[in-house]
């Protein structure tokens, strides 16, 4: 993954060896601690219990709203999207109480001291573990206009390499609570991985304004806890509506594409040609690099392609279906959960351009110019997380 990032680097002769070395060291320590120790097993058990609890609490609210519809079987509308609304409210309350800022500041301090990244980019990278690509830059809003080009790229890449905590719980609900620890581990690995790969792709050639560090004491815009919960729920509702609309549109478009491809394939003598099959062949080598069993690389490759071309929610939905019917091995499913745990896709680029570009209008052109590379680098970061999992599981 590092070699691919270097091949697309803007400055191949300025390899940031310290950042690469310490970035890999941080990933190794995190991966070993969470995947190979008793403390790691306790972490996974705690994450599973937390995911189950949060899903149960969401269910109480959803049952109040949807009533008997909750008993008609699993549905994205009644069982998944409400999790996003509830988690939006919960994270907003935690932000108002200062919990998110303190945790983010601690993680950013580690990256700043070891990888020698600036305070602002480290804060944004750490924040992306817990919040989305639009919310994380709010922690460094005062610095965005003055960020170097390399810092700006780190902010973009780490947003693409991770997912918001609100949707992470939704994914755990789709796959099963025992996947919650893997999804959280994926984000802890992808954040330093995103920084590492972004610095390889676009090395620092200037002096950052926050080279000595930056504070994360961003005040909450809410007047009190109730106001914070209300604002978070509304933001979660917008995100849930966005996710629902995309799922509806893209599933329909995939059905249309599959019919068209099947017809074209039959015309040239290729039976069973589908959109997923085409993507699976193209992304199979990346699945193989992660350590996916050879018999399943095309299958996992189709998930990677679906996530990159469309979005990760669709890919997780497909993975959840395979997990439920037993048509994918446990190892392939777990490694897929790591590789899919990021927002890197073309739809996210529009969101990033609107969100980050809105915070720094003068940098909008640079954000657009770096957009495709941020998708590539974010994808490589999630694949790197999958590689660590494949190595240690």
Spell out the per-residue pLDDT of the chain, length 393, in tens. Answer: 999 999 999 999 999 999 999 999 999 999 999 999 999 999 989 988 888 888 889 999 999 999 988 888 778 888 888 988 898 899 889 888 988 888 888 888 999 999 999 988 999 999 898 888 878 887 887 788 889 999 999 999 999 999 988 789 889 989 988 999 999 999 999 999 999 999 999 999 998 888 766 655 667 788 899 999 999 899 888 888 888 887 788 888 888 988 998 888 888 888 878 888 888 888 999 999 999 999 999 999 999 998 988 889 889 999 999 999 999 999 999 999 999 999 998 888 888 888 888 888 899 999 999 999 999 999 999 999 999 999 998
Residue 214 belongs to a domain: no
Cα–Cα distance measured from residue 91 to residue 131, given in angstroms and rounded to the nearest whole number: 8
**Residue 337: domain span:** 2-209+219-392
Sign, Cα dihedral of 107, 113, 115, 117: positive
- Does 54 reside within a domain? yes
Total structural domains within the chain: 1
3-state class percentages of the chain: helix first, strand second, coil last, to nearest 5: 80, 0, 20
List all residues 6 or more positions away from 106 whose beta carbon is below 8 Å from its beta carbon: none
Q: Which residues 6+ apart lie within 8 Å of 37 measured at CB?
A: none
pTM of the complete model = 0.88
Q: Which two tokens stand for residue 65?
A: 């709203």
Stated length of the chain: 393
Cα–Cα distance between 369 and 186 in angstroms, integer? 28
| Cα separation, 270 vs 339, whole angstroms | 30
Q: Is residue 20 part of a domain?
A: yes
251 located within any domain: yes
| Max Cα–Cα distance, the chain, nearest Å | 65
């Amino acid at each position: 993954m590092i070699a691919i990032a270097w091949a697309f680097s803007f400055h191949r002769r300025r390899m940031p060896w310290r950042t690469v070395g310490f970035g890999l060291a941080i990933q190794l320590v995190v991966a070993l601690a969470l995947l190979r120790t008793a403390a790691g097993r306790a972490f996974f058990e705690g994450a599973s219990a937390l995911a189950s609890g949060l899903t149960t609490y969401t269910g109480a609210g959803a049952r109040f709203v949807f009533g008997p519809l909750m008993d008609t079987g699993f549905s994205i509308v009644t069982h998944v999207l409400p999790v996003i609304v509830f988690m939006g409210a919960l994270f907003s309350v935690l932000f108002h109480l200062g919990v998110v800022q303190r945790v983010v500041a601690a993680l950013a301090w580690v990256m700043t001291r070891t990888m020698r990244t600036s305070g602002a980019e480290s804060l944004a990278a750490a924040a992306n573990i817990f919040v989305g690509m639009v919310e994380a830059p709010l922690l460094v809003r005062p610095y965005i206009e003055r960020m170097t080009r390399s810092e700006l790229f780190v902010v973009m890449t780490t947003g693409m390499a991770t997912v918001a905590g609100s949707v992470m719980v939704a994914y755990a609900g789709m796959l099963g609570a025992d996947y919650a620890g893997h999804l959280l581990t994926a984000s802890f690995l992808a954040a330093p991985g995103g920084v590492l790969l972004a610095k390889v792709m676009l090395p620092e050639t200037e002096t950052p304004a926050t080279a000595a560090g930056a504070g994360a004491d961003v005040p909450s815009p809410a007047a009190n806890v109730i106001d914070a919960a209300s604002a978070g729920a509304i933001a979660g509702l917008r995100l849930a509506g966005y996710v629902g609309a995309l799922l509806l549109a893209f599933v329909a478009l995939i059905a249309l594409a599959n019919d068209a491809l099947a017809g074209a394939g039959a015309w040239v003598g290729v039976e069973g040609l589908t959109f997923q099959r085409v993507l699976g062949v193209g992304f199979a080598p990346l699945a193989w690099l992660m350590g996916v069993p050879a018999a399943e690389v095309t299958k996992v490759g189709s998930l990677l392609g679906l996530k990159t071309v469309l979005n990760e929610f669709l890919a997780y939905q497909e993975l959840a279906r395979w997990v439920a019917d037993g048509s994918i091995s446990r190892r392939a499913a777990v490694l897929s959960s790591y590789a899919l745990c990021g927002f890197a896709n073309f739809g996210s680029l529009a969101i990033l351009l609107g969100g980050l570009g809105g915070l720094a209008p003068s940098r909008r052109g640079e954000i657009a110019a770096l957009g495709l590379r941020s998708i590539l680098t974010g994808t490589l970061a999630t694949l790197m997380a999958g590689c660590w999992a494949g190595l240690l599981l």
